[in-house]
Chains A and B, each alone.
Chain A
């Protein structure tokens, strides 16, 4: 059974760097084809894809946020970390990590519960 859970601060100040951790179980990021993605959702708004990392350390970023994002993996800990620099109030959102299932064409078949991050001074 695959599970993912996001963790990190609930409140960050403008200009600070946000660090979020996705801890997962039920699969390994050392297995060929496997990846983990991050998606966010501002309150009352649509989903926005942020980043993806694959088993071979291939990394993909949203073009509009690429300069602010870094995604890394720690295979031994079953964790993926997303950092976002220069946080702004418009970055207030629920941040989800999700599993792109190989059997479903890399659609996000399993999601974490999400973690709400508020950006405010």
Chain B
């Protein structure tokens, strides 16, 4: 299995901050990397697919980059509704998710 490692596991930030979350694959996955946002008690929501493509309806403050083994999700200016847990997921081979990054209010 391809292992997906996110860092940090948790992060405290303030409204207006620029935040970056990293996801590293244990082997190359080209651009087969997706990002999801999950709020407590809710199903995950697709934010970014194919490493850098913004899902329809997702605010442009969210962006993704990377290829191969190293990927990032960036939120350019945190809004109150962005405090949630974020997961990366690879679809290059047998699907695996990262362990999640919890984004909390400072």
Give residues in A with beta carbon < 8 Å to B.
Answer: 37, 39, 46-49, 52, 60, 62-64, 96, 98, 101, 104-109, 111-114
Which residues from chain B contact A112 at a C-beta distance below 8 Å?
Answer: 43
Listed by A's residue number, 12 A-B pairs whose Cβ atoms lie within 8 Å are: A39-B97, A46-B98, A46-B100, A47-B44, A49-B94, A49-B96, A101-B46, A104-B50, A104-B55, A105-B32, A107-B55, A108-B46
**Option from A96, A107, A113 in Cβ contact (under 8 Å) with B46:** A107
Q: Number of residue pairs across A and B with beta carbons under 8 Å? A: 67
Quote the shortest CB–CB distance from A95 to chain B (angstroms).
11
Q: Is the CB of A96 within 8 A of B87?
A: no
| CB-based nearest A residue for B46 | A109
Q: Is the CB of B97 within 8 A of A60?
A: no
| CB-based nearest B residue for A94 | B43
A47 and B87 alpha carbons, distance in the complex (Å) = 8
A113 and B34 alpha carbons, distance in the complex (Å) = 20
A101 and B46 alpha carbons, distance in the complex (Å) = 11
Which residues from chain A contact B53 at a C-beta distance below 8 Å?
Answer: 104-105
Q: Is the CB of A107 within 8 A of B43?
A: no
Which residues from chain B contact A96 at a C-beta distance below 8 Å?
Answer: 43-44
Contacts A104-B46, A113-B43 aside, 18 further interface pairs with beta carbons under 8 A come to A39-B97, A47-B89, A49-B89, A60-B94, A60-B95, A62-B95, A63-B94, A101-B46, A101-B49, A104-B49, A104-B53, A107-B34, A107-B46, A108-B36, A108-B44, A108-B46, A111-B45, A114-B43
A63 and B1 alpha carbons, distance in the complex (Å) = 8
A48 and B79 alpha carbons, distance in the complex (Å) = 28
A106 with B91, Cβ < 8 A, contacts A47-B44, A111-B43 known = yes
| CB-based nearest B residue for A62 | B94
User: Which among B36, B49, B100 has the highest number of chain A CB atoms within 10 Å?
Assistant: B49
